[in-house]
Structure formats: structure tokens, C-alpha cells
């Protein structure tokens, strides 16, 4: 059974736009922050190094559907689900709500990569310890 990860986020003034609501691009930053928080909850940093190369999780895909506006000073509940764990990639689902009101639904796929300085990222297998915990969250 999948184990969702829960976090929340306060909508700041600087995340709003002149339509008076939170700008849609901010949802993607919030998703990334929630993903990183989930990884830290498993004892894994967003950003580590192997032999001097950075190991990170760049995204290969991100999407979001916006159902109702988020506003300044709203506290958004964010439920993160691990949807799929591959050898090198993870897919997460995100549910944003406020006091039970559905706000947005998103998805992101991140690929474990070694990022040699100034060169293109190279995908690598996710560390076993991390993959195991993510699979546990996915209910696999």
C-alpha cells in the first residue's frame, strides 16, 4: 500500500501575480521543494557528490493541472505519492489542497544523474538504499 508523504506550504506575496492569485510557475517550485523534503525524510540529500561529480535528480517531465486558485497567505496541503520507481528514475504525484478544497494536481519524473562540471548530465542507477525506501513508499 502506498505511503503518502505530507507537507504544507505557505503562499508568499512574492509568489502572486497581478491577477491576485499564486502564479502557476510557483506550483512547480513547490513540487520540487516537496520532493526534496521527501528525499530528506529518507535521509537522502538533494545534492550529493561521487568522486567530485555532483549527483542530482534533474527532471525529465513535469506537469500540473490547476483546479482552483491559491492566494497569498493560504497554507497549501501537499500530498506526495511515489508513483513509480525505475532503475534510474522516480515518478511522483502531488495533490495540492487548502482546507479540503482541491487546488491542483501535479506529476514529476526525476532521473538520477551524475552531473560532471560543465558537461551534460549522465543518468545513473539510483542508490539501492534510496530506491528501496522509495519502493516502500510506492507500495511495491
CB of 83 to a second copy, least distance (A): 15
Q: With binding defined as CB under 8 A, does residue 86 bind a second copy?
A: no
Cell matching residue 24: 502557476
Tell me which stretch binds a second copy (CB under 8 A): 10-18, 79-87, 90-98, 127-135.
10-18
Indicate the residue among 72 and 127 with the shorter CB distance to a second copy.
Answer: 72
Q: With binding defined as CB under 8 A, does residue 17 bind a second copy?
A: yes
122, 67 Cβ separation under 8 angstroms: no
Residues in 28-67 that interact with a second copy by CB under 8 A: 28-29, 32-33, 36, 40, 45-47, 49, 52, 54, 56, 58-67
Q: Max Cα separation, the chain?
A: 47
On the CB side of 27, CA atoms within 13 Å amount to 27
CB of 15 to a second copy, least distance (A): 9
82, 138 Cβ separation under 8 angstroms: yes
Helices first, then strands: H and E counts in the chain: 2, 9
On the CB side of 87, CA atoms within 13 Å amount to 3
**Residues near a second copy, by CB under 8 A:** 12-14, 16-21, 23-25, 28-29, 32-33, 36, 40, 45-47, 49, 52, 54, 56, 58-69, 72-73, 115, 117-118, 120-121
Amino acid at each position: 500500500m502506498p505511503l503518502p508523504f505530507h507537507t504544507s506550504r505557505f503562499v508568499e506575496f512574492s509568489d502572486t501575480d497581478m491577477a491576485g492569485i499564486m502564479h502557476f510557475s510557483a506550483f512547480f517550485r513547490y513540487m520540487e521543494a516537496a520532493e526534496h523534503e521527501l528525499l530528506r525524510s529518507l535521509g537522502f540529500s538533494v545534492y550529493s557528490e561521487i568522486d567530485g561529480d555532483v549527483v542530482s535528480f534533474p527532471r525529465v517531465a513535469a506537469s500540473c493541472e490547476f483546479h482552483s486558485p491559491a492566494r497569498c497567505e493560504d497554507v497549501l496541503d501537499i500530498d506526495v505519492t511515489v508513483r513509480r520507481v525505475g532503475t534510474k528514475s522516480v515518478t511522483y504525484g502531488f495533490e495540492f489542497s487548502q482546507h479540503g478544497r482541491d487546488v491542483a494536481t501535479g506529476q514529476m519524473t526525476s532521473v538520477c544523474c551524475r552531473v560532471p562540471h560543465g558537461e551534460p548530465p549522465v543518468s545513473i542507477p539510483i542508490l539501492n538504499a534510496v530506491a528501496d525506501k522509495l519502493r516502500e513508499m510506492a507500495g511495491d
